Structure 1
């Protein structure tokens, strides 16, 4: 049974790595193969069954996207709010189950993520509304180390995005008991400094935690303590079993454990992590009351199978695998390594989960083990029980609940301050490059040599290490996918030059944390030799000051208050490369035409970075003495097009002077300006240049090979969920 359950899970989970989404009729030959193999190879048949179900489920959920003109114009939608996340005063995120689209009923009911921009309060959870919105496909920036929002959205069952500024009609719904309970808890804790932490632990609302708080939780490796999941549900159920056993009746103990776990999961809003933990707990309690013995492995496999059958896209959610493998690590530690004491359990789980933590988060915490050894018992025996008692007495005895919340505040705040001090003092979080992760995998998997049947797995980390030790090109160029903006990274080994930094938004999201820093960490680049800011536009300079505070920077060129301003004729030697500033001739302001234009060359291959210069600056550049005396000074095999491919730039004379073989347009996916402009694309095509768009291809990566630039990828890399537009339209070659 275990082997068949495992095979079904593998079949469903294979959706993670499908390079494309096959057409729905693929299920017919797969079903024939399943029928042929059912008798002699049942595990193979179960694997095929899982693949068939993932395929059919995906087409079933995505069929509504074929609605004509769905993404070309505004749509009249009607739906019910599943959840609301308040982010700012006038901005919230709503997950909505769509009931009707332009008056037509939808089945199955798709889920969409809608951003609310209005001074009015958004609809509440459970309320029905109608509105008009422009829908968009799930799409994410595509860079190594960047967060894959398209995968995350599908993992939450969300197949489209949009925005709202109001509703056409709105059916107000009476507040549920849980909503009233949450409101009471917020009211009672409003004056307490620890309110954000108490809300995170009691009702699963973590919006009050600051960026510094999240950095501390990650640095100390204790984020899991403030995300209601298996640990918390297990603690609550354990308390119920402990009290119930005093009656001597196992049924009473099981019922009390299940009731407390259900109550806690209800208070937390039945989030996906609590659903997983609750299902596993109820299965275990059912087997316990039934008087049978099932191994923890079987219960885990059955839980995984049930969850993945109900929602195959759950396999795309990294949190799902983190919690599943945490339980698996606990089972291994308990049964194989003889872990019974808490320090052995924690040590075994920390060690076994290290490869996954390195893979998902790109680093490790040096103090996770000792901190968890202290905090887990503290949460188990003190904080969680007190919170449950406070919530239980919130309605019948609010004064008593308020007193408990005050006690928790007095206990919490000194602990939180101490944790912040510890994180700031030790800086325990260590970011790992791809090479360091490969070495780490190799070391962590060395114990597999003791298991004869698993020794072949050692091939994987060895291959990673050998690939990293391979010969590296002497310089590389990466034009990053930063949406509608610009950022280019030029590297020589572990030395880097960054040209522009992308945008920074009022919501707090920025391209430094989202794209640039994760890539630098993966490459093992700890400082920048040069950071060049072409001009002061936000989509070019938005993260200038933040990066200056975060990274050591040796040379600052361009639009810096305290840097070296770009001026035509300026030259420098950077390793094996020469850097030449071709424009501006004089510093007259901060307009597009003042952008710093840099020519980078090794004597054979060259790159031209142009910022946002327009036709006027192009003409002046062509008329300058530098160009008239040495026309070849402007030529480059690789060009980042001026102003993202705007029709106001890339004049015919400029294109002929540069004569590029490759051109990259740094234009966001489906941007509202229509970049790159059709006439610009035509002019480059007539010149014979090959053109790429970051919004479609993702990060564009070249390596220098002899006398040619080698393009690392020719299409958008990754699995099918990175190219939903290709699946939907079939005509676009890249995205």
Structure 2
């Protein structure tokens, strides 16, 4: 049975690496093959069954995206709010369940992510809304070492996005605002804790609402390796169930009746999971608990491995897209590691379990988060007992007293406020003082995996495993190119990284938004860490437009910067004729000659060459600046050209294109941007020259390597699995009639 469950989970989980989404009708031959092989090869049959179910589920959930003109014009949507990710009014993110599209009921009801862009307070959980909006595909930026947003969105069941600035007036009167019991409980909890400094921590630990945590809070949790303490999961559900068992045993002795313990344990665990909104970790923990208690009450014995496999199988059968959720696998593998440690150790203790868990999960933590915390083990040894024996019981007591004795609940909340304020102040201080989180570059991660794999060679019949660390070492020792150009995928904006080994030049910094989201934290800094680059020799800011200079000052506070060129408050302004030698490369500013006062046409145009091959970085210059550039410069030829102004028709004139005569053209335009960049006219001009063109919004980061007198493109198509290219999938499907 265990092998069949495992292969079913493997078949569903293969959805993570599918290069494309097979067509709907593939399920028929695969299902027939599964039935044929059921008797002789049951494991193969279960594998195919999992694959078929993941395929059918994906097409079922995505079928509504084929609605005619869904992404071409505005739509009237009616939905109910399921979650609010932020309560900062204009910066709120709402996860809603879409019930009607243009008055037509949908089945299944898809989930949407709405960005609330209004000064008015956003709708709350449980409320219904109706609005007119333009829908977008769940698309994310694609750069090495950065967060895969496309996968995260589908892992949450989100199949479309939209911006909302207002609601229809009729929605207030004609659509009833319905609040379920959990929503009312959460609102009561928010009201009772609104004057407490520790409200964000109380809400996170009681109802799973982590929207009140700031960036510094997340950095502290990550730095100390204690994020799992605020993700309501096995630790919390197990504690509540344990309290129920204890109370049940007392009742059993008093009444002489059996099963009070099991009923109370399941009841309290269900109540806590309900209060936490039945998140993925609580679902897994709750299901394992119910299976274990039911089998124990039944008088049978099942191994922890079988219960875990059954739990994972049921969860993936209900929602195959859970396989795309990193948190799901982290929690599953944590339980698997605990079961493994329990089998290895004759005498269990907290420090042994925590040490073993830290070591076993280290490769996964390094892979998912790109680093590790050297304080994780001692921090968890202290905090797990504190949360288990004090904070969580007090919090549950306060929540239970919220309705029958609100004044008494308020006193408990005040005690929790004191405890949390003192504890979190100390943890923040420890994180700032010790800086325990260590970011790892790609070579360091590879070397770390090699060191972690070496002990496996001591196992019997494991000599063949030496090929894996040997291949990783061989890749690490390969000769590196002399210089490379990476045109980053920063949405509608510009940022280019030029590197010579560990030396780097950054041209423009991408956008920074009022919500706090910025391309420095989302793209530039993760990529630099991935490459092992800790400082920048040059940062060139072409001009002051926000999508080019938005992170200039932030990067200056974050990284050591050598030379500052362009529109810096204190730096060397760009002027034509300015030159510098940078390692093996020559830097030459071609424009502007004199400032005209026009921001775009005053962009700093930078030419970089090694004497054989070159790149021309053009900022946002338009036709007038291109004419002036050709009039003042004798040679503007470059093998790689960044099309001016993101491919706008106001730029890339035919004369300029012919003078540059590029072998490659890159358009730095965001996916589905509202300006339609790159324009069809610009694309046609370069097509007439037979020049290959790439758009960052379509293919992700464009990475080119200097190879003699030519640029070698590292990736021709957008890398990744099918969920990174949903737009391509839609283009090859027939819209529903």
Q: Same fold (TM over 0.5)?
A: yes
Could you tell me how far apart the structure 1 residues matched to 2:89 and 2:588 are? 47
Change (3 A) 1:417 1:104: same
The 5 A counterparts of 1:341-360 are 341-360=349-368
Matched, 1:665 2:673: no
| 1:65 paired residue number | 65
The 5 A counterparts of 1:559-598 are 559-589=567-597, 591-598=599-606
The 5 A counterparts of 1:323-402 are 323-338=331-346, 340-402=348-410
Matched, 1:225 2:229: yes
| 2:131 paired residue number | 131
Number of residue equivalences: 726
Per-residue CA deviations over 1:661-699 (Å, capped at 9, x if unaligned) read 100000011111111111111111222211110010110
**Secondary structure of the corresponding residue to residue 485 of structure 1:** coil
Could you tell me how far apart the structure 2 residues matched to 1:457 and 1:421 are? 43
Matched, 1:202 2:206: yes
Change (3 A) 1:339 1:172: farther
Q: Is the contact between residue 333 and residue 339 of structure 1 (CA under 8 Å) also seen in structure 2? A: no
Per-residue CA deviations over 1:42-77 (Å, capped at 9, x if unaligned) read 111100110011111111111111111111011122
Q: Is the contact between residue 89 and residue 120 of structure 2 (CA under 8 Å) also seen in structure 1? A: no
**Secondary structure of the corresponding residue to residue 445 of structure 1:** helix
Per-residue CA deviations over 1:129-166 (Å, capped at 9, x if unaligned) read 33222111111111112212211111111111112221
| 1:709 paired residue number | 711
Could you tell me how far apart the structure 2 residues matched to 1:713 and 1:339 are? 52
| 2:180 paired residue number | 176
Could you tell me how far apart the structure 2 residues matched to 1:587 and 1:453 are? 72
- Pick from 534, 538, 562 the counterpart of residue 526 of structure 1: 534
Q: Is the contact between residue 248 and residue 260 of structure 2 (CA under 8 Å) also seen in structure 1? A: yes
Could you tell me how far apart the structure 2 residues matched to 1:731 and 1:58 are? 14
Query: How many Å apart are 1:454 and its aligned residue?
Result: 5.5
Q: Is the contact between residue 89 and residue 122 of structure 2 (CA under 8 Å) also seen in structure 1? A: no
Change (3 A) 1:186 1:454: farther
**Secondary structure of the corresponding residue to residue 259 of structure 2:** helix
| 1:83 paired residue number | 83
Could you tell me how far apart the structure 1 residues matched to 2:563 and 2:598 are? 20
Per-residue CA deviations over 1:438-496 (Å, capped at 9, x if unaligned) read 11111122232233355545533432332122111111110000000000001111111
Could you tell me how far apart the structure 2 residues matched to 1:589 and 1:232 are? 61
Could you tell me how far apart the structure 2 residues matched to 1:68 and 1:453 are? 58
Q: Is the contact between residue 80 and residue 96 of structure 1 (CA under 8 Å) also seen in structure 2? A: yes
Change (3 A) 1:174 1:657: closer
Query: How many Å apart are 1:177 and its aligned residue?
Result: 3.0
Q: Is the contact between residue 89 and residue 121 of structure 2 (CA under 8 Å) also seen in structure 1? A: no
Q: Is the contact between residue 665 and residue 694 of structure 2 (CA under 8 Å) also seen in structure 1? A: yes
Matched, 1:623 2:624: no
Could you tell me how far apart the structure 2 residues matched to 1:695 and 1:173 are? 39
| 1:635 paired residue number | 637
Q: Is the contact between residue 91 and residue 116 of structure 2 (CA under 8 Å) also seen in structure 1? A: yes
Unaligned runs of 5+ in 2: none
Could you tell me how far apart the structure 2 residues matched to 1:527 and 1:78 are? 49
| 1:280 paired residue number | 288
Which segment drifts farther, 236-245 or 315-324?
A: 236-245
Could you tell me how far apart the structure 2 residues matched to 1:324 and 1:616 are? 60
Could you tell me how far apart the structure 2 residues matched to 1:408 and 1:468 are? 50
Could you tell me how far apart the structure 1 residues matched to 2:598 and 2:396 are? 58
Query: How many Å apart are 1:250 and its aligned residue?
Result: 6.2
The 5 A counterparts of 1:415-426 are 415-426=423-434
Could you tell me how far apart the structure 2 residues matched to 1:242 and 1:95 are? 38
Query: How many Å apart are 1:91 and its aligned residue?
Result: 4.0
Per-residue CA deviations over 1:578-635 (Å, capped at 9, x if unaligned) read 11111111245461111111111011010110111111111111111xx2xxx33x11
Could you tell me how far apart the structure 1 residues matched to 2:598 and 2:568 are? 11
Q: Is the contact between residue 82 and residue 95 of structure 1 (CA under 8 Å) also seen in structure 2? A: yes
Could you tell me how far apart the structure 2 residues matched to 1:34 and 1:236 are? 42
Q: Is the contact between residue 75 and residue 132 of structure 1 (CA under 8 Å) also seen in structure 2? A: yes
Change (3 A) 1:101 1:211: same
**Secondary structure of the corresponding residue to residue 212 of structure 2:** coil
Give the superposed CA RMSD: 1.7
Matched, 1:239 2:253: no
Could you tell me how far apart the structure 1 residues matched to 2:119 and 2:710 are? 55
Matched, 1:726 2:728: yes
**Secondary structure of the corresponding residue to residue 689 of structure 1:** coil
| 1:146 paired residue number | 146
Query: How many Å apart are 1:400 and its aligned residue?
Result: 1.3
Q: Is the contact between residue 478 and residue 489 of structure 1 (CA under 8 Å) also seen in structure 2? A: yes
The 5 A counterparts of 1:229-268 are 229-246=233-250, 247=252, 251-268=259-276
Change (3 A) 1:277 1:550: same
Unaligned runs of 5+ in 1: none
Matched, 1:694 2:696: yes
Q: Is the contact between residue 118 and residue 166 of structure 1 (CA under 8 Å) also seen in structure 2? A: no
Q: Is the contact between residue 248 and residue 264 of structure 2 (CA under 8 Å) also seen in structure 1? A: yes
Could you tell me how far apart the structure 2 residues matched to 1:50 and 1:177 are? 36
Q: Is the contact between residue 510 and residue 550 of structure 2 (CA under 8 Å) also seen in structure 1? A: yes
Query: How many Å apart are 1:92 and its aligned residue?
Result: 2.7
Per-residue CA deviations over 1:614-661 (Å, capped at 9, x if unaligned) read 11111111111xx2xxx33x1100011111011111111111111101
| 1:539 paired residue number | 547
**Secondary structure of the corresponding residue to residue 540 of structure 2:** strand
